[in-house]
Amino acid sequence: MASLGGLDVAFGAQMQIVRTNVLIVETDGTTTQTMANNVLSCARNRYVSHLKPDYIAFVASGALTEGYATELTDQVESNVLKDITKVPLAGSQRDSTASNNRGLSIEAILNVGVVQIGNDDTATVDDLFADASPAGIEVDETHLPHQMQSALMKDAFDDQAEPTTMNLTSVLTHSGILGGSAQATADFASLSETSSLADLNDAIAGAGGVISVLALGKIF
């Protein structure tokens, strides 16, 4: 989490403008949590601060469910996400019991962006959000911040509680970065925290990218 600014109130800055980056990699389901940790550590060392991931999630090829050989116990374990259905703004650990979790509630989604990571050390932004609408009006297949905000409002209404996590499933479903070749154990076997940027990008090889969400969070 990158705190980009606080909003001062009488009792301190309770509101924070937060950027949360999630590295998503599509796998064949044979990859492990340890490999996810290695990829995350390497990405944090090699990517510039604007793209430095707060979390990583291995997702199953074509299904967007868990992409690990052994399913994680908790939703977040050392910044590794069990899946992409409940992504917090901040915090390295999160379990299924709400009272055990501390951090930020989500007041508003301000913006969202996605970039695909290629194995030639380039990133792709064109066609990330497919446009099937007539006259170039992006309503059919895009997933925009106002839709994420509306989903949060529905969660708040249904649960009668302040939302504390985001569901990134729709963003990934409507993006064009997944659905290609999934990465396997061999792709990450030699990757470590000290691997080069080129080796990291080659390991991901177009099968993943970074989702960046800019949000307004409130300390709770």
Q: What is the 3-state secondary structure (H, E, C) of 1-43?
A: CEEEEEEEECCEEEEEEEEEEEEEEEECCCCCHHHHHHHHHHH
Instruction: Name the pairing type of β-strands 76-77 and 80-81.
Output: antiparallel
pLDDT confidence band for 44 (50 / 70 / 90): very high
- Tokens for 125, please give them: 């932004």
Note the pLDDT tens digit of each residue in 50-101: 999 999 999 988 778 899 999 999 999 999 999 999 999 988 888 876 656 7
Q: How far apart are CA 63 and CA 77, in angstroms?
A: 22
What's the pLDDT at 52?
A: 95
User: How many domains are contained in the chain?
Assistant: 1
pLDDT confidence band for 149 (50 / 70 / 90): confident
What is the span of the domain harbouring residue 84? 2-219
Distances 174 to 25, 138, 171, 177 between C-alpha atoms, Å:
16, 11, 5, 9
- pTM (2 d.p.): 0.85
Please determine, for residue 30, whether its predicted confidence score (pLDDT) is greater than 90. Answer: yes
- What is the number of alpha carbons within 13 Å of residue 152 lying toward its C-beta? 23
Q: What are residue 213's phi and psi, to 5 degrees?
A: -115, 125
Residue 12 contacts by C-beta under 8 Å, 6 or more apart in sequence? none
Range 133-138 average pLDDT? 52
